[in-house]
Structure 1
């Protein structure tokens, strides 16, 4: 029985067809497509500020021209060891750190002198203004600095560096979080990124399309504390999980052997 001989043009045509059919379109890869055309429809009033929630940790410092008058409104500063030893409760070779306020399940904190203060639902700036208004009765021209210290997000799935990240800034967009995780791999679905969060004790979620410029209008575009971002693998990656991951290497070797065979037979 005779087998048909493959000429070099036939082989190149076959190889080209494989390459072309495996190409991924620009529409599946590029972020924020058509942004220029969509600018008139973008909501420039999307809220990017964080609201304080139960179980948040806050640092609050109060200062004034007469610092002694502001001292009663500050928690004691504690020493945190940095590779040093602790002697009699004192930190040696350490650093000083403000103590934190834990927001309880009712959304309150216990503040020196003022007592119970409701903070849940407020932004950092709103809480600062609220405390300043109450402290003014005791201290002239107080300065109140509020900071959220437990802002974390987790980025999982088809990204280059999945993990949980501590955020020092209260402003965090979805693309910035993906940047912390090294961006999506080529196998990540850019049109179906899942963001999960907890609101008022309930789990909520939304799927976002990063190729759509209108994604910036989503309330999930700016992330909140403890959000989880999951990038789903695309169809090619899901299918690849069903066979040996070395299959690509084997196909490459086979292609080289076929090329050599074609050259020899010709």
Structure 2
């Protein structure tokens, strides 16, 4: 989530950079800027009424101790409390709307990121290695996988729909081998292997930016108010959140 102070102090610059990710996000920056101004104005009113309430309460308390009554002061106190309660509720609503809007604004893109409509506008910064050259037209991996009997797209589609695959025999073993290779390589280089919960609280997904933006794409256990994690990155990052 972007720092509110950053938007407050550098509104034009933040809006300009966010607009490169889409005008809809720039409009969210506008909304945050206006909500923040309104919230601070209401906050000022609330603080003023609280100070006035304290002052009038002391005056009323002094009169009570002296055995005196002031109906006008009593009514004034009641009106101040009513106005204060109304403004405090408004302040609470503004803060909630402000926070929810901030959560929907993406991170600022780096100044060097090219502006474009799709992947065709990407700029190649560097490359590693050279693509192998063959004396024959190479087959794509999905054709090779089916010919070797290690990928079953037909039954994958039957189970889950298009773009799903069942990995068989050496195909399944290859997946397991790659997982173990990755884990072994990183633990040998000083990383600590972790196994984290697959279900997390909403605030955990807010902490890594999945909520509220991707809520429709997440699986939720309504009974427990828990979400299925998209990757282990979510709980791992939140281990160091506070």
Higher relative contact order (CA 8 A, sep 6+): 1
Structure with more helix by fraction? 2
When normalised by structure 2's length, the TM-score is 0.26
When normalised by structure 1's length, the TM-score is 0.24
Structure with more strand by fraction? 1
